[in-house]
Amino acid sequence: MRIRYTQTEKKSMVKRFLREITPLHVLYRILIGDIDLLGYISAWLTKPTYTVKGTVRNGFIHLYNNTFTNERCVEIPIICNLAKIDTSTGDDVLEVGNVLSHYFPLSHDIVDKFEKGNNVINTDIVEYSPKKQYRAIVSISTFEHIGFDDDVIDQNKVIEAFNHAKTLLQQDGIVAITMPIGYNPHITQHLETNAFGFSEMIFLKRISKKQWIETSLSDVKNIKYDSPFPRGNAIVVGIWRK
């Protein structure tokens, strides 16, 4: 993953890091289980890995949300590589769901119906109508919530949302999203018929605490969410190119 920082961004990240490692703050976060410090150290000593197209790559390690223990460790580098996201990324990228800003000082547009933050537009993606189009539209573990965790369950709303996202894309642009398998049962049904119309689908399965391998839909479609490992035990990377 190619993430490059300016000197100003580096200084800002160092200041934030120093604020967050005060002894009392770290002790509090460890006590409430917000930080798995031993797991974090272990992840640096023996890095989590994932395999895509026969190539073994290192997973992403971060203290936020104990990223090294869950599917974010593979979702983040895959999405950043596919969409060529780095700290210079700006107006030409749209993110659906506020995830990447928790890890990097990025400035792209973010649509998130509920979470507030810098550059976050609080609206439903199906209602988002900007006066521009984007080079890349990305989303990390967000689309599975659409129409499933809303007040009214609508199994087709996620397809409507994805189709709407396609209309916001520039020519030769890319939409790349990840979703955990097993969280929303309707997603598996949509994947089996490719209702999203993905140009390509990549499936990864977690086989140990620190190893993910590429596999097939037939191999992951019955995998449960949050078992045997916490949170996603398999994910799909859906890609659509205009």
Side chain identity, residue 134: Y
> What are the pLDDT digits (tens) for 15-55?
555 454 555 655 555 565 666 667 777 777 888 999 998 99
User: Is residue 235's pLDDT more than 90?
Assistant: yes
- Percentage helix, strand, coil for the chain under 3-state DSSP, each rounded to 5: 35, 25, 40
Percentage above 70 pLDDT, the chain:
82
The beta-strand segments (E) located in 141-215 are 169-180, 200-208, 211-215
For residues 101-113, average pLDDT: 89
d(CA 228, CA 242): 37
User: Is residue 168's pLDDT more than 90?
Assistant: yes
| pLDDT at 3 (0 to 100) | 47
| pLDDT at 104 (0 to 100) | 86
User: Is residue 231's pLDDT more than 50?
Assistant: yes
Grade residue 4 by pLDDT with cuts at 50, 70 and 90: low
For residues 121-139, average pLDDT: 94
Lowest-pLDDT range of 62-66, 120-124, 148-152? 62-66
CA-nearest of 106, 84, 179, 199 to 139 is 179
| pLDDT at 1 (0 to 100) | 43
Instruction: Quote the pTM value.
Output: 0.83
Which architecture does CATH list for 7-241?
3-Layer(aba) Sandwich (3.40)
**Mean pLDDT of the chain, nearest integer:** 86
Q: Looking at residue 212, what DSSP letter applies?
A: E
Q: Tell me the Cα Rg of the chain.
A: 18
The beta-strand segments (E) located in the chain are 49-52, 55-58, 93-96, 109-111, 120-121, 134-140, 169-180, 200-208, 211-215, 234-241
